[in-house]
Chain A
Amino acid sequence: MDTNQNSYLVLAVLAALAVGFALAPLAAARAWAHFFSPQKPGKEKNAIYECGLEAKGDAWIHFRAEYYIYGIIFLVFDVETIFLLPFAVSFGGLSVGAFLAMVVFILLLVEGLVWAWRKGILTWK
């Protein structure tokens, strides 16, 4: 029991040393900055933008997130291609369970395609 406690004590001491080792230089740098260099913040210096231009306008603007549709359509065809080829190659040796699983998987992808088709995304505008 005692030995166990001692071993954890060593761990705690080492952890404290590690934290101190990391924090001591930061504290020293902070103290140096505090005592030897007066901070001179200002409006320009605290500005967010760093390329010399002034930020104008509002950052809270509306982004159109329509790209996700193309992402989904790409995923449907991409995943289908990847899995259909090994499915076709090993078609003869598949067990019934594997065949059913594959059919369900493809039906899931086809369902996505049907959803996109009905939504009218596949029509070129």
Chain B
Amino acid sequence: MIEDGLRSELAKQGVHVTSMQELYNWGRSNSVWPLAFGLACCAIEMMAASMSRFDIARFGSEVFRPSPRQADLMIVAGTVTKKMAPMVVRLYNQMPEPKYVIAMGACAISGGPFKQGYNVLKGVDRYIPVDVVIPGCPPRPEALLHALITLQEKIAKQPLTGPDRPRHLNADVAGEYPVPEYGKHDLEPPNNPEIWQPPAIKR
């Protein structure tokens, strides 16, 4: 490993050094292809972010893929109803590794204004791992761009080896998350206990 001071000194002289990890992460963090997938009004903001005024193409993510097989990023844009939740998890399962999730808007984070409703999932993180959350109802396209930049920074920092390596480089970790089924009163199971536990009440 090269020290940061030496690297910046070399860069001043016009000599740029890099590592395989940085090169790899630089490449994949700047070509995050989202899944063309919108659930509610946040998807309108997502569409606006992909149009010329906000232009998500500046960050390499303009290629909205119509098939989960070609997508890297799932932007959960909108209210996840309990009827829709199995489809969301199934689409996430069908995406190839490495895959990332942005929960966009209050509904995707927690159920938002429909949190007390009987038919809305109270946060998509109950079933799939969320990398970046964007608050807002709906968030502005700039907020989505900010989330994308945050995700890119997160990807750029991921080590490719060692115990902290991402899931897609760890053969032991399963690639699929269990898809909930429609039960009598609620989705079964109501959450994926491996990634989400109800907050403990301390009295």
Distance (whole angstroms) from the CB of B162 to the closest CB of chain A: 14
Chain B, residues 91-118, CB within 8 Å of chain A (1/0): the string is 1011011100000000000000000000
B174 at the interface (CB under 8 A from A): yes
- Of chain A, the residue at the smallest CB distance from B176 is A42
Chain B, residues 156-180, CB within 8 Å of chain A (1/0): the string is 0000000000001111001110010
Query: Known contacts A42-B175, A42-B176: does B169 contact A50 (CB below 8 Å)?
Result: no
Q: What total count of A-B pairs have CB within 8 Å?
A: 48
Whole-angstrom CA separation of A40 from B179 in the bound complex: 17
The secondary-structure label for the interface of chain A is: loop
Q: Which of A38, A45, A54 contacts B171 (CB 8 A)?
A: A38
A44–B179 CB distance below 8 A: yes
B69 at the interface (CB under 8 A from A): yes
B67–A40 CB distance below 8 A: no
Distance (whole angstroms) from the CB of B43 to the closest CB of chain A: 15
Question: Hey, which chain B residues are within 8 Å of A52, CB to CB?
Answer: 86-88, 90-91
Q: Which of A37, A41, A45, A51 contacts B169 (CB 8 A)?
A: A37
Question: Hey, which chain B residues are within 8 Å of A44, CB to CB?
Answer: 90, 93-94, 176, 179
Chain B, residues 3-37, CB within 8 Å of chain A (1/0): the string is 00000000000000000000000000000000000
Within 8 A of B (CB), among A3-24: none
A45–B93 CB distance below 8 A: yes
B68 at the interface (CB under 8 A from A): yes
A45–B174 CB distance below 8 A: no
A67 at the interface (CB under 8 A from B): no
Question: Hey, which chain A residues are within 8 Å of B88, CB to CB?
Answer: 52
- Of chain B, the residue at the smallest CB distance from A37 is B168
Within 8 A of A (CB), among B49-90: 67-69, 86-88, 90
Question: Hey, which chain A residues are within 8 Å of B98, CB to CB?
Answer: 37
Chain B residues near A (Cβ < 8 Å): 67-69, 86-88, 90-91, 93-94, 96-98, 168-171, 174-176, 179
**Contacts beyond the supplied A38-B170, A44-B94: 17 A-B pairs with Cβ under 8 Å:** A37-B98, A37-B168, A38-B171, A40-B176, A41-B175, A42-B93, A42-B176, A43-B176, A44-B93, A44-B176, A45-B96, A50-B91, A51-B87, A52-B86, A52-B88, A53-B87, A54-B90
Chain A residues near B (Cβ < 8 Å): 36-38, 40-45, 47, 50-54
